[in-house]
Amino acid sequence: MTQQITVTEHLLLHQKQIPGATGQFTHLFNELILSAKIISREVNKAGLVDVLGFTGEINVQGEEVKKLDEYANRILIHRMARSGVLCAMASEENADIIEIPHGLPQGGYIIIFDPLDGSSNIDVNVNIGTIFSIHRRKSKIGTPVQATDVLQAGDEQVAAGYILYGSSTMLVFTTGDGVHGFTLDPGVGEFLLSHPNIKVPDTGKIYSVNEGYWPFWSEATKKVVNYFKSTDNIHGKPYSLRYIGSLVADFHRNLIYGGVFMYPADHRDPAKPKGKLRLMCEAAPMAMLIEQAGGKATDGNQRIMEIEPDDLHQRVPLFIGSRHEVDTISAIYKEHN
């Protein structure tokens, strides 16, 4: 630990620097932190109690819902609804915008989350994570929330981050003032500042992609991946392939070491013309983090942060990481357009 600063102290310091800050945002974050601790506790005992296995339900993405996903979703919705500072929420697990129940106080923020990303890894004890994205509502407080309040571009996020349930639990977030990482000290139950001002290296030696889909990729995507496998690249030798299949864990490793994570479009059956990952609850928050850390995120043609969503659950191809690698990918796609 570099400093024994708790995440709450860090947020209060940040709040003091914002003229006119009301404390609403800090309050929202405190609820999020508590939810993260509760989910972390459950994830850590996943092998001990009957929380593993499928619920038998299918979520809005057509995937089987695992019990821990459902638990994390429930905790987040319950706690965040009671924060008093939100006007709406959206979750990867819910088809529609989640309204704040009648009678509970409301505020000017919107949170969008993937409660437990990488859930196919739960049963085998591989790292999973919670991803969140926070926006300010556009319409007037007190009026009904509009779809346009929620469907905002990544550039309009006021904060984004993730909680990684790994060998330790980490909270990594940005409020537009750099990226800071906090590690949960289970002894005292506090997230302590362990990674202040994270910067992603300008180039790295890791590429992360599910290469099993190679036969279903476009020529441009094959050219991108061949660049990383060849000796004819910036390092003069092949990159290392590292792919966990859990976005938060893959992203976190590449954020610290440098390199690139990719989930391109493919034409397997059924075809994934926009890849697998969701713009609003996965790509946009990760894009805000990487840009704040000095890296880049694109769909191949456009900055992820500029994409105006028209659907809560829309998917987007994602190339995210160090500048050199993402610039190289953009140049290859541009050549093929």
Q: Which is nearer to Mg ion, 172 or 332 (by Cβ)? A: 172
Backbone phi, psi, residue 11, to 5°: -65, -40
Which of 73, 106, 119, 328 forms a contact with ligand AHM (CB under 6 A)?
A: 119
Report which of 124, 125, 112, 122 is spatially closest to residue 65, judged by C-alpha positions.
122
Residues in contact with 270: Cβ distance below 8 Å, sequence separation at least 6, in sequence order? none
Which of 115, 118, 166, 275 forms a contact with ligand AHM (CB under 6 A)?
A: 118
- Give residue number: closest CB to Mg ion: 117
Report which of 41, 24, 150 is spatially closest to residue 91, judged by C-alpha positions.
150
Which of 69, 70, 114, 250 forms a contact with Mg ion (CB under 5 A)?
A: 114
By the rule CB under 5 A, 93 interacts with Mg ion: no
Residues of this chain, 234-253, that bind ligand AHM according to CB under 6 A: 245-247
Peptide bond into 309 cis (omega under 30): no
Report which of 245, 225, 235, 1 is spatially closest to residue 119, judged by C-alpha positions.
245
Residues of this chain, 143-172, that bind ligand AHM according to CB under 6 A: none
By the rule CB under 6 A, 114 interacts with ligand AHM: yes
**SS3 state at 13:** helix
Backbone phi, psi, residue 62, to 5°: 80, 20
**SS3 state at 197:** coil
The partner in contact with residue 276, picked from Mg ion, ligand AHM, none with C-beta cut-offs of 5 to 8 angstroms by kind, is: ligand AHM
By the rule CB under 6 A, 273 interacts with ligand AHM: no
By the rule CB under 6 A, 291 interacts with ligand AHM: no
How far from the centroid of its chain's Cα atoms is residue 130's Cα?
Answer: 7
For 189, other C-beta atoms within 10 Å of its C-beta total 9
**SS3 state at 314:** coil
Residues of this chain, 200-219, that bind ligand AHM according to CB under 6 A: 210
Q: Give me 25's structure tokens.
A: 């945002």
Which of 69, 70, 93, 117 forms a contact with Mg ion (CB under 5 A)?
A: 117
The partner in contact with residue 245, picked from Mg ion, ligand AHM, none with C-beta cut-offs of 5 to 8 angstroms by kind, is: ligand AHM
Q: Which is nearer to ligand AHM, 276 or 324 (by Cβ)? A: 276
**Annotated binding-site positions for substrate:** 117-120, 210, 243, 276
By the rule CB under 6 A, 276 interacts with ligand AHM: yes
Is the C-alpha dihedral spanning 179, 244, 183, 47 positive or negative? positive
By the rule CB under 6 A, 73 interacts with ligand AHM: no
- Is 239:229 a contact under the CB 8 Å cutoff? yes
Q: Which is nearer to ligand AHM, 63 or 327 (by Cβ)? A: 63
- Is 281:312 a contact under the CB 8 Å cutoff? no
The partner in contact with residue 210, picked from ligand AHM, Mg ion, none with C-beta cut-offs of 5 to 8 angstroms by kind, is: ligand AHM
- Smallest separation, CB 149 to ligand AHM (Å): 24
Q: Give me 164's structure tokens.
A: 């990684």
Q: What is the DSSP string of 139-154?
A: SPTTSPPPHHHHS--G
The partner in contact with residue 246, picked from Mg ion, ligand AHM, none with C-beta cut-offs of 5 to 8 angstroms by kind, is: ligand AHM
Task: From 48-56, 67-75, 109-117, 196-204, give the range in contact with Mg ion by CB under 5 A.
Answer: 109-117
**Annotated binding-site positions:** 92, 114, 116-120, 210, 243, 276, 282
Q: How far apart are CA 174 and CA 179, in angstroms?
A: 5
- In the complex, the residues that contact ligand AHM under the rule CB under 6 A are 63, 92, 114, 117-119, 210, 245-247, 276
- In the complex, the residues that contact Mg ion under the rule CB under 5 A are 114, 117
